[in-house]
């Protein structure tokens, strides 16, 4: 959410930003919020003037009574009462106007960084760099669920009977591999100076509205019936929510945290053949990283965050690339974002395994997260990035470590988390 003063003083820039995001239907919001803001300030001014006048004339009542001017005193009392009623009326008007203003401001997208490429959708995203050499073996690579089934590592049929489509049972060495990747990712981030956190897996609606846009909320979140609680779609939600209504002393920044959680997502809409199996699912686990920092440090942390994910995947010998998200592919709260994509030898292309985002002060403004500085308080900047999200990440892992006989090599960094095993699935 933008600062209303910025919109008031820079309406053309806000309109241009909306156009860059290809959301022309929102252009009228700029004039609407400016008009509502004007009405709110005019109402506030009238109410303040009436309060000052009421305070002034109220002091005259006692003096008039002391002088025996009862009739005049009664007239002043009547005026004070009338002013009081008008003040109540103005306060109600202002509450209604401010609520409408807030609703419309919540829909206007955040100002994107000047470096963001302009494009309508993800087809316009721009490759930044590749890390590692993509490799396609001489033998055919089966679909990821077929690899898992041959290892006795997945049961989708039972999951459908128990919970429906979009769920799974992981078993045996595949389940152990899933947990090993998460444990390794946790320690990897701790070694990089991040504090490990296990957060709440459910959050209040006020936090949901603070961390994401309404379209995202509708497409992702599961609501707990009869409760003011939502299941988190990522631990970023509860991790940023941790700082709601907080004033963080400058000396306590940056806050660098890495969190584990299960994640729950509706995943609305139809998906292609390559998004079956465990690619798009309603429940999964993830290791996340978030940063709360000073505004001047946020771009530096943005670069550090996506690099962490690249380094993690490369430590497991998985080729990856980074992809800059274009303006039309950015969620409304994001200033800048990039995806980390892993190489799929079977598909002979890259696919998304993580997303890094700088949200500027958007979440901080909604959740009232401020930094307490020597020269006054100001809004923090927030960032988030996926460390690793199995079981989707397992697709890349299994394909890149598959042998011709169907066995899977275990990279050295994971072997301590797999009981020392160097290979699984070999008789």
Peptide bond preceding 4 in cis form (omega within 30 of 0): no
The reply to whether 115 falls in a domain is no
pTM of the model as a whole? 0.90
Q: How far apart are CA 241 and CA 245, in angstroms?
A: 9
Instruction: Give the DSSP letter string of 301-350.
Output: HHHHHHHHHHHHHHHTT--EEEEEPPGGGS-TT-SEEEEEEEEETTTTEE
Q: Are residues 334 and 194 in the same domain?
A: yes
Q: Are strands 195-197 and 255-264 parallel, antiparallel or unpaired?
A: parallel
pLDDT digits (tens, 9 = 90+) for 160-186: 999 998 899 999 999 999 999 999 999
> Picking from 20-29, 72-81, 169-178, 313-322, which range would have the lowest pLDDT averaged per residue?
72-81
Within a 13 Å sphere around the CA of 37, how many CA atoms are in the beta-carbon half? 17
pLDDT, tens only, 75-121: 767 777 888 888 999 999 999 999 999 999 999 999 999 999 999 99
Q: Which of 55, 77, 105 is the last residue of a domain?
A: 105
Asked whether the beta carbons of 343 and 319 are under 8 A apart, the reply is: yes
| Structure token digits, residue 378 | 């100001």
116 phi and psi, to 5 degrees?
-70, 130
Three-state DSSP at 424 gives strand
What CATH number does the domain containing 66 carry?
A: 1.10.287.40
Examine the domain organization and report whether 237 and 382 are in the same domain: yes
- Residue 209: Cβ within 10 Å count: 15
390: left (phi over 0), alpha (psi -120 to 50) or beta: beta
105, 134, 153 - which closes a domain: 105
pLDDT interval class at 213 (50, 70, 90): confident
CA dist., res. 229 & res. 321, Å (int):
37
Rama region for 193: left / alpha / beta (φ>0; ψ in -120 to 50; rest): left
Q: Which domain holds residue 99?
A: 4-105
Per the omega criterion (within 30 degrees of 0), is the bond before 143 cis? Answer: no
Greatest C-alpha distance within the chain: 109
- Whichever domain contains 374, its CATH number is 3.30.930.10
């Amino acid at each position: 959410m933008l600062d209303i003063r910025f919109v008031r003083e820079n309406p053309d820039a806000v309109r241009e930003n909306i156009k860059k995001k290809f959301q022309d239907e929102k252009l009228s919001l700029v004039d609407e919020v400016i008009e509502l803001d004007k009405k709110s300030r005019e109402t506030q001014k009238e109410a303040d003037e009436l309060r000052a006048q009421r305070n002034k004339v109220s002091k005259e009542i006692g003096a008039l009574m002391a002088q025996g001017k009862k009739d005049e005193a009664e007239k002043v009392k009547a005026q004070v009462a009338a002013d009081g009623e008008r003040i109540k009326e103005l306060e109600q008007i202002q509450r209604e106007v401010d609520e409408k203003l807030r609703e419309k401001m919540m829909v206007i997208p955040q100002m994107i960084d000047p470096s963001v490429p302009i494009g309508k959708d993800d087809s316009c995203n721009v490759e930044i760099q590749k890390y590692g050499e993509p490799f396609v073996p001489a033998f055919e690579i089966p679909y990821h669920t077929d690899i898992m089934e041959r290892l006795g590592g997945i049961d989708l049929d039972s999951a459908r009977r128990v919970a429906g489509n979009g769920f799974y049972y992981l078993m045996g060495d595949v389940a152990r591999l899933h947990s090993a990747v998460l444990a390794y990712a946790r320690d990897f981030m701790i070694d990089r100076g991040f504090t490990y956190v296990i957060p709440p897996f459910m959050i209040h609606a006020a936090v949901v509205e603070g961390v994401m846009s309404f379209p995202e909320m509708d497409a992702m979140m599961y609501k707990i019936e009869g409760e003011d609680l939502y299941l988190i779609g990522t631990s970023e939600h509860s991790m940023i929510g941790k700082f709601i209504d907080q004033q963080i002393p400058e000396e306590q920044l940056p806050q660098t945290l890495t969190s584990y959680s299960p994640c729950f997502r509706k995943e609305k809409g139809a998906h292609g053949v390559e998004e079956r199996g465990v690619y798009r699912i309603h429940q999964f686990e993830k290791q996340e990283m978030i940063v709360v920092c000073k505004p001047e440090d946020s771009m530096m942390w943005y670069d550090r965050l996506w690099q962490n994910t690249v380094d993690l995947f490369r430590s497991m010998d998985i080729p990856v690339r980074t992809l800059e998200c274009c303006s039309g592919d950015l969620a409304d709260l994001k200033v800048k974002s990039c995806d980390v994509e892993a190489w799929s030898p079977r598909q002979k292309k890259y696919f998304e395994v993580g997303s890094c985002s700088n949200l500027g002060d958007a979440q901080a403004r909604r959740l009232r997260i401020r930094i307490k500085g020597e020269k006054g308080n100001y809004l923090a900047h927030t960032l988030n990035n996926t460390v690793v999200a199995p079981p989707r990440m397992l697709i890349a892992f299994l394909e890149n470590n598959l042998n011709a006989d169907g066995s899977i090599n275990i990279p050295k960094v994971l072997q301590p988390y797999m009981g020392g095993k160097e290979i699984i699935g070999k008789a």
